[in-house]
């Protein structure tokens, strides 16, 4: 025991002298709020702290819906964190507000090697000046419509990849009298709602900004999308809905739903959990009615074909806050570099295999990455995984259309104007024309501020 | 200079209350005054605030958001105050009658009040879940009372009603507790005297019980008014689409187009309304 203690002490002294670090306390906000993920990230942080004595990292999980308000409150109180893990739209919005340390993140990107990143991912966080980045891309996801392949085949329906196919299937499978619903799209005033809407809007060539950077949200394309969205929402489970209603799909009460690739491990793990609680292990147990074939019976469409084919997804990045002391800056830099070390990076990605897609090319092809501890990748097969990773290259959003970045769209996103517009139309019965006009007015206010 | 004993005592008194005045000043007066100050500005994060005079108040009277939130608040207050008081009174009267297991029942009744808000909110949300909830199962499948499944908490038409019922359920125990302690203190002689004057149970309630309870009920109503006008977490957690004044202030201050000056103006208005109601109530009803 004593030997061990001496060993640890001498190791600490050695690493301290070999690695002089100025003492600093930094705060790291993450949007991964599930307790199992927080535990894993805390483990990474503990490792980092052991390797860098003197640096104290405080990990704070914040719900992504609350992030803009929390940042607003923290900025008002002068208590901003040092690092935030957030979606690219929010990072760009923070960059626009001038609270990010753009030179520092650009410097770290250069040191890690710009070429190692997937181009599309890096593009999503580019600042208007060349070679400048609002933050560092860390992982990403792709959105799709996940659907019951077996139900579709039985009814002779085509996969939900066009507006007509989606609507037809929603109509066929919507049987509220049997407690079964056609589709899930967001109608609550939440981020998820904007994500569903954006996917459809992009496939109808609706935009927030035109090539000259002028606001063009109030357009026939947006209006048409909103009307279509309202029609689809009629096949939702009753009342306002958010992503949490995906449980109804797992229960076999829904034909399709919009979701990111994160559902892959949820489905695979639900299967794992169900298997471990039934059958050979506990033959007497009669639990819920989980369908073990659900993983195999689930299909996915990631490109929706409207007047143009469109993919939607997001890049989640790390952004660094401005105005901190030199010691804190050094600590932040060390932590970010540590997060990109292969072992730390792969541990992080394996929290949600398939959900969190790597943005660094050499990591994506590492055998360590493809061999996740819960064997989710094996369940889906290498080809499917490759297809999804490639899907990340073709995603668009309102902030990035045809490879151009519109930073103002990031601020609009953070104000949740589109979710409010959709709630007012689908739940409160406002007319789509009025709602789009209202949204454009609100967007103008945001740009003017 | 020679101080008289009374003068000395009053000086000592001042010294003794000075710390509390200091604490109250920092924790209560400063935020209120700062809030009033902010309400005259266009507050911008990370930049200088711009003085706009009465601009925020003008906007409040012009835009419909404030008034619809005011109406929601009035309905919420009326429903929850009447509900908690009447239910508290009814349960107190019942618990004043002797019956087996009365002590256990009295304790169990307090449960909703003690339970943490967040856990009971989740319970209620699950109860009313449109697909898996017990409410819909009973209404649609078991008794066939409703034509189809509904989402009573989510749908704007019924959400306020559920929030009121929730508030009554959660808060009636405190009314019950205060009323029953007063009930037990009412002199039995008064009931006997009333009975001799040939008063039935109903007349005894109106001529003896109610007058005796007048001030307890009066106090309960004013406390509930203050508590519920400021109530945020119960409403926001259960049904975030029910915009009572505190919830409306929150949305204005922290979400969408963040407007903390305007939010400050709304909370000042809320403060003024509350103060006016209290003054009116204390003078006219409690007759202090």
Mean pLDDT value of segment B85-105: 92
Query: For residues B288 and B286, what is the distance between their CA atoms, to the nearest angstrom?
Result: 6
Which of A377, A404, A419 delimits the end of a domain?
Answer: A377
**pLDDT band of A325, cuts 50, 70, 90:** confident
User: Which residue from A minimizes the CA distance to B133?
Assistant: A179
Structure tokens at B178: 């205060």
> What pLDDT does A262 receive?
84
> What pLDDT does A376 receive?
79
The helix or strand, by DSSP H or E, that contains position A26, with its residue range, turns out to be strand A24-30
Query: For residues A136 and A124, what is the distance between their CA atoms, to the nearest angstrom?
Result: 10
Q: Verify that A307 and A362 share a domain, yes or no.
A: no
Q: Could you say which of B46, B153, B257 has the minimum Cβ distance to residue A446?
A: B257
Query: For residues B250 and A226, what is the distance between their CA atoms, to the nearest angstrom?
Result: 28
> For the whole model, what pTM was predicted?
0.81
Q: Residue A386 domain-assigned? A: no
Residue A141: alpha-carbon gap to chain centroid: 6
Pure H helices in B51-187: 55-62, 64-95, 102-109, 111-114, 117-127, 134-136, 156-183
**pLDDT band of B256, cuts 50, 70, 90:** low
Mean pLDDT value of segment B172-181: 94
B154 close to A (CB below 8 A):
yes
Q: Residue A83 domain-assigned? A: yes
Give the contacts of A158 (CB within 8 A, at least 6 positions apart): A152, A165
Structure tokens at A260: 């990111």
> What pLDDT does A302 receive?
87
Domain count, chain A: 2
| pLDDT digit string, tens, across residues A345-359 | 999 999 888 788 899
What are A's interface residues with B at a Cβ cutoff of 8 A? 68-69, 72-73, 75-76, 97-99, 176-177, 179, 181, 188-189, 237-241, 245, 248, 251, 253, 415-417, 420, 423, 427-428, 442, 445-446, 449
| pLDDT digit string, tens, across residues B216-254 | 999 999 999 999 999 999 999 999 889 999 999 888 877
Q: Of A311-325, A430-444, B237-251, where does the model show the most confidence?
A: A430-444
A314 three-class SS: strand
CB atoms under 10 Å from CB of A159, counted, come to: 17
Q: Verify that A54 and A194 share a domain, yes or no.
A: no
Mean pLDDT value of segment B248-273: 84
Q: What is the mean pLDDT of chain A?
A: 86
Mean pLDDT value of segment B129-137: 92
| pLDDT digit string, tens, across residues A51-108 | 999 999 999 999 988 888 888 888 878 889 999 999 988 898 888 888 899 999 999 9
CB atoms under 10 Å from CB of A91, counted, come to: 30
Which DSSP string do the residues of A379-432 spell out, in sequence order?
Answer: HH-HHHHHHHHHHGGGEE-SSEETTEE-HHHHHHHHTTHHHHHHHHHHTS---H
Q: Could you say which of B131, B150, B154 has the minimum Cβ distance to residue A240?
A: B154
Q: Note whether A238 contacts B148, CB cutoff 8 Å.
A: yes
Query: For residues A80 and A66, what is the distance between their CA atoms, to the nearest angstrom?
Result: 15
Pick the more confident residue, A23 or A316.
A316
Q: Verify that A253 and A327 share a domain, yes or no.
A: no
Query: For residues B57 and A246, what is the distance between their CA atoms, to the nearest angstrom?
Result: 43
Q: Could you say which of B44, B151, B258 has the minimum Cβ distance to residue A239?
A: B151
| pLDDT digit string, tens, across residues B28-45 | 899 999 999 999 988 876
Query: For residues A373 and A381, what is the distance between their CA atoms, to the nearest angstrom?
Result: 15
Q: Verify that A13 and A134 share a domain, yes or no.
A: yes
Query: For residues B94 and B90, what is the distance between their CA atoms, to the nearest angstrom?
Result: 6
| pLDDT digit string, tens, across residues A222-242 | 999 999 999 999 999 999 999
Q: Verify that A131 and A212 share a domain, yes or no.
A: no
User: Which residue from A minimizes the CA distance to B251?
Assistant: A69
DSSP secondary structure code for residue B3 in this structure: P
**pLDDT band of A17, cuts 50, 70, 90:** very low
B256: chain A residues, CB-CB within 8 Å: 415-417, 420, 442
pLDDT at A7 over 60: no
> What pLDDT does A69 receive?
83
**pLDDT band of B130, cuts 50, 70, 90:** very high
> What pLDDT does A279 receive?
46
Q: Verify that A216 and A304 share a domain, yes or no.
A: yes
Beta strand B50-51 pairing with B41-42 = antiparallel
Q: Are B194 and B204 in contact (CB under 8 A)?
A: yes
Q: Verify that A201 and A58 share a domain, yes or no.
A: no
Q: Could you say which of A98, A176, A239 has the minimum Cβ distance to residue B155?
A: A239
pLDDT at A18 over 80: no
The helix or strand, by DSSP H or E, that contains position B50, with its residue range, turns out to be strand B50-51
Q: Verify that A242 and A331 share a domain, yes or no.
A: no
Q: Verify that A200 and A292 share a domain, yes or no.
A: yes
The b-or-e profile of A418-434 (16+ CB within 10 A means b, else e) is bbbbbbbbbbeeeebee
A98: chain B residues, CB-CB within 8 Å: 46
User: Which domains occur in chain B, in start order?
Assistant: 75-242 (1.10.3720.10)
**pLDDT band of A13, cuts 50, 70, 90:** very low
Query: For residues A344 and A106, what is the distance between their CA atoms, to the nearest angstrom?
Result: 21
When scoring B141, B248, B258, B262 by the number of chain A Cβ atoms within 10 A, the one with the most, hence best to mutate, is: B258
Among A292-296, A433-437, B147-151, B200-204, which is the least confidently predicted range?
A: A292-296
Q: Verify that A343 and A355 share a domain, yes or no.
A: yes
> What pLDDT does A427 receive?
94
Structure tokens at B81: 């105050």
Q: Residue A387 domain-assigned? A: no
Range of the domain at A367: 2-140+313-377
B81 three-class SS: helix
Which of A347, A377, A407 delimits the end of a domain?
Answer: A377
- Cα-based distances in Å from A237 to A169, A243, A246, A256, A368: 15, 12, 11, 12, 41
Q: The CATH number of the domain where A225 resides is what?
A: 3.40.190.10
Which of A329, A349, A377 delimits the end of a domain?
Answer: A377
Mean pLDDT value of segment A276-297: 59
Q: Residue A148 domain-assigned? A: yes
Q: Are B72 and B242 in contact (CB under 8 A)?
A: yes
Q: Residue A384 domain-assigned? A: no
Q: Residue A383 domain-assigned? A: no
| pLDDT digit string, tens, across residues A124-166 | 898 888 889 999 999 999 899 999 999 999 999 999 999 999 9
Q: Residue A385 domain-assigned? A: no
> What pLDDT does A226 receive?
97
| pLDDT digit string, tens, across residues A201-220 | 999 999 999 888 889 999 99
Q: Verify that A239 and A287 share a domain, yes or no.
A: yes
Q: Residue A114 domain-assigned? A: yes
Pick the more confident residue, A317 or A288.
A317
> What pLDDT does A393 receive?
77
Helices B64-95 and B210-229: crossing angle in degrees, nearest 10, is 140
Say if the ipTM goes beyond 0.90: no
Among candidate residues B220, B221, B246, the one with its CA nearest the CA of residue B73: B246
> What pLDDT does A1 receive?
46
Q: Verify that A35 and A73 share a domain, yes or no.
A: yes
| pLDDT digit string, tens, across residues A358-388 | 999 888 888 888 888 877 777 777 777 777 7
> What pLDDT does A12 receive?
47
Query: For residues A316 and A91, what is the distance between their CA atoms, to the nearest angstrom?
Result: 9
């Amino acid at each position: 025991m004593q030997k061990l203690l001496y060993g640890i002490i001498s190791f600490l002294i050695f690493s301290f002298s070999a690695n002089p670090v100025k003492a600093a306390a930094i705060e790291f906000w993450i949007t991964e709020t599930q307790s199992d993920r927080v535990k894993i990230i805390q483990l990474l942080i503990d490792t980092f702290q052991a390797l860098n004595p003197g640096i104290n990292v405080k990990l704070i999980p914040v719900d992504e819906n609350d992030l803009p308000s929390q940042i607003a409150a923290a900025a008002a109180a002068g208590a901003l964190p040092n690092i935030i893990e957030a979606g690219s739209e929010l990072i760009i919005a923070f960059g626009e507000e001038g609270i990010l340390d753009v030179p520092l993140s650009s410097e770290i990107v250069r040191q890690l090697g710009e070429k190692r990143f997937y181009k599309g991912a890096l593009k999503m966080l580019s600042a208007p000046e060349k070679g400048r980045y609002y933050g560092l891309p860390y992982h990403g996801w792709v959105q799709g419509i996940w659907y019951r392949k077996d139900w579709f085949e039985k009814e002779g329906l085509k996969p939900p990849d066009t507006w007509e196919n989606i609507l037809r299937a929603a109509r066929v499978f919507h049987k509220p009298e049997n407690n079964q619903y056609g589709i899930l799209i967001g109608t609550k005033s939440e981020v998820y709602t904007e994500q569903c809407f954006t996917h459809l809007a992009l496939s109808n060539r609706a935009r927030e900004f035109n090539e000259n950077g002028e606001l063009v949200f109030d357009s026939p394309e947006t209006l048409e999308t909103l009307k279509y969205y309202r029609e689809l929402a009629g096949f939702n489970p009753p009342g306002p809905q958010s992503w949490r209603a995906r449980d109804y799909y797992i229960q076999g009460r829904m034909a399709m739903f919009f979701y990111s690739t994160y559902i892959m491990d949820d489905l695979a793990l639900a299967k794992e959990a169900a298997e471990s609680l039934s059958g050979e292990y506990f033959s007497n147990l009669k639990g819920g009615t989980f369908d073990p074939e659900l993983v195999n019976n689930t299909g996915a469409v990631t490109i929706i074909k409207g007047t143009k084919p469109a993919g939607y997804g997001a890049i989640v990045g790390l952004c660094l806050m401005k105005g901190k002391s030199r010691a804190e800056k050094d600590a932040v830099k060390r932590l970010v570099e540590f997060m990109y070390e292969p072992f730390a990076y792969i541990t992080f990605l394996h929290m949600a295999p398939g959900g969190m897609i790597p943005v660094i090319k050499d990591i994506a092809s590492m055998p360590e990455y493809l061999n996740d501890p819960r064997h989710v990748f094996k369940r889906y097969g290498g080809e499917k995984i490759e297809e999804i990773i490639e899907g990340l290259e073709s995603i668009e959003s309102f902030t990035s259309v045809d490879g151009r970045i519109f930073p103002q769209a990031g601020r609009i996103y953070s104000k949740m104007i589109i979710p409010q517009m959709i709630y007012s139309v689908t739940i409160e019965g406002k007319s789509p024309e009025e709602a789009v006009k209202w949204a454009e007015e609100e967007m103008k206010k945001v740009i003017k501020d | 200079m020679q101080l008289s004993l009374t003068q000395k005592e009053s000086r000592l008194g001042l010294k003794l209350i000075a710390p509390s005045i200091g604490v109250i000043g920092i924790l209560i007066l400063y935020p209120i005054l700062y809030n009033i100050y902010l309400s005259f500005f266009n507050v911008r994060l990370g930049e200088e605030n711009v003085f706009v005079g009465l601009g925020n108040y003008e906007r409040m009277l012009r835009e419909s958001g404030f008034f619809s939130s005011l109406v929601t608040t009035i309905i919420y207050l009326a429903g929850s105050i009447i509900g908690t008081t009447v239910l508290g009174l009814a349960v107190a009267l019942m618990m004043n009658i002797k019956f087996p297991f009365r002590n256990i029942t009295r304790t169990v009744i307090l449960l909703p009040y003690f339970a943490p808000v967040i856990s009971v909110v989740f319970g209620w949300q699950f109860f009313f879940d449109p697909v898996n909830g017990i409410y819909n199962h009973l209404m649609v499948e078991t008794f066939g009372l409703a034509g189809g499944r509904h989402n009573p908490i989510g749908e704007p038409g019924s959400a306020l009603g559920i929030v009121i019922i929730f508030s009554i359920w959660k808060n009636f125990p405190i009314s019950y507790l205060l009323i029953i302690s007063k009930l037990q203190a009412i002199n039995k002689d008064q009931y006997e005297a009333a009975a001799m004057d040939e008063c039935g149970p109903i007349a005894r309630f109106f001529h003896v019980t109610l007058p005796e309870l007048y001030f307890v009920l009066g106090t309960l109503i004013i406390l509930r008014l203050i508590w519920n006008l400021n109530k945020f977490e119960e409403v926001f957690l259960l049904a975030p689409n029910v915009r009572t004044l505190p919830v409306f202030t929150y949305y204005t201050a922290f979400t969408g187009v963040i407007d903390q000056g305007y939010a400050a103006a709304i909370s000042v208005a809320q403060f003024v309304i509350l103060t006016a109601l209290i003054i009116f109530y204390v003078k006219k009803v409690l007759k202090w």
